[in-house]
Structures are given as C-alpha cells and as structure tokens.
Amino acid sequence: MQGASELSGAFSMPDGPRAVVFDIGRVLYDWNLRFLFEKLIDDPAELDWFLANVITDEWHFQSDGGRPLAEMLPERLAQFPDHRALIEAYPARFNETLPHAIPGTHALVRRLADAGVPLFGLTNFGAEFWAGFRPTAPLFDLFTDVVVSGEERCAKPDPRIYEIAEARFGPAPDALFFTDDNAANVAAAAKRGWRAHLFTDAAALEAQLIAHGLLSR
C-alpha cells in the first residue's frame, strides 16, 4: 500500500484540488464501540468477549451498508437474550461511541471554511445513527454536503459510493482532496482520480493541505 504522500502526489494535477472531502469516524471524531460499553461492563475480560462476540465491529458495519436496526436488533436479541440491556444500549446511546474530536482536525475544517474552500463529507455511517448524531455536531454546518453510506445503502470502498459523491458534490474527481483513515477507502478514491491522503493525524493532514494549495502556512 502506498503511503499518504505518495497517493496524494500520484494524482496531483497542475491546477490542484479545490474542494476537500472528509471521512468522519477516526478523522473528525474518535469512534470506537468500546467507548460506550466500557461504561457498562466493569470486567475487562467480559468487555473484550462482548465486543468480540455480541456487538462487534463487523456486525455494526451492516448498518453502514444500509441494513436497518429493525432487522439487526431482533436478530441479535434472539441470539444473545441474556444481554438484552446491553444490546438495547447500542442504539439508545450510540453517540457515546463518538465522544470527542480527533485533536486538531476541527481547527483545520474551520481554517478551510474561512479560506472559502468547499467542504464535503463521505462517511460509512448508519442512516439511523447519522440522524441522531448530526444534530449534536454543528461542525457540519460548514459542509456543503455529506454522503452517508447507510442512506445510500452502499459503503466505502465500493466504487459506487464515490460515483454518488462525485455527482452530488460537483467538482471533477481531480479537484477533490480526500482524507480517510482506511487504506482501502483511500486507494478506491485515488483509483478514481481523487487526491487521496491516508489520515494519521492532523499535522500530517495539514502538511498535505498546504502542499496542495488548500491552506496557507
């Protein structure tokens, strides 16, 4: 897998990108199911077992692909009836899985907005969870549009969701600068001609935004 700077540079064009597309989880907001369930399960071994067998990342990602909670939850409750209270906490308290901002990235969003750079989001996020999270996050008032995988029933790195984003956002692919923490998602964007940066931290992202002329030093 190419590094972030290589991916960005490989698709650089003379005129440069003019809009920025952000992933959300683990780029703008720290996301982890553990943040919620460590409040509810005291024993570390039991917590690890629960996250590996009941409310797992893989099972949760079905919501990112558009599967409704009305299908997911009854199925899980039937499989793990002794964990009803914890399973029911998953939808009721989902926002607690995104408790805080990734250091430095919100400041970059605001600097880009102040510079007049169009901002977009492309996120793997369940539709029902996004509906509950979005009102708590005024940062997205600065964004022109956010494409949500659960609403589109199509998740990164499927090429179709990048096609949807291109149609909605407007700028040509080589005018879009994209950052995501998932290497497969970055590679899929780069394959379509987006300027793709593998997110590691705000400082590295800032350097890339400056290198592409989207921010000043």
Asked if residue 192 belongs to a domain, the reply is yes
- Cβ–Cβ under 8 Å, residues 132 and 31: no
Are 132 and 206 part of one and the same domain?
A: yes
- pLDDT, one tens digit per residue, over 161-196 is 999 999 999 999 999 999 999 999 999 999 999 999
- Cβ–Cβ under 8 Å, residues 51 and 69: no
- SS3 for 2-31 is CCHHHHHHHCCCCCCCCEEEECCECCCEEC
pLDDT at 5: 36
Full residue range of the structural domain in which residue 74 is found = 33-97
Are 26 and 37 part of one and the same domain?
A: no
Q: How confident is the model at residue 217 (pLDDT cuts 50, 70, 90)?
A: confident
- pLDDT, one tens digit per residue, over 188-212 is 999 999 999 999 999 999 999 999 9
Domain count within the chain: 2
Domain boundary among 97, 130, 152: 97
State the amino acid at position 108 in one-letter form. Answer: L
For the chain, percent of residues with pLDDT exceeding 90: 92
| Cα 165 from Cα 29, distance rounded (Å) | 21
Residue 50 backbone phi and psi in degrees, to 5: -60, -45
Residues contacting residue 2 through CB under 8 Å, at least 6 positions apart: 10, 187
For the chain, percent of residues with pLDDT exceeding 70: 94
Q: What is the DSSP letter of 27?
A: T
> CB atoms < 10 A from the CB of 130, how many?
21
Q: Over 80: is that where the pLDDT of 129 sits?
A: yes
Asked if residue 93 belongs to a domain, the reply is yes
pLDDT at 157: 98
Q: Model's pTM, two decimal places?
A: 0.92
pLDDT at 176: 98
Are 87 and 177 part of one and the same domain?
A: no
**Angle subtended at Cα 79 by Cα 96 and Cα 82, rounded to the nearest 5 degrees:** 70
Asked if residue 180 belongs to a domain, the reply is yes
Asked if residue 217 belongs to a domain, the reply is no
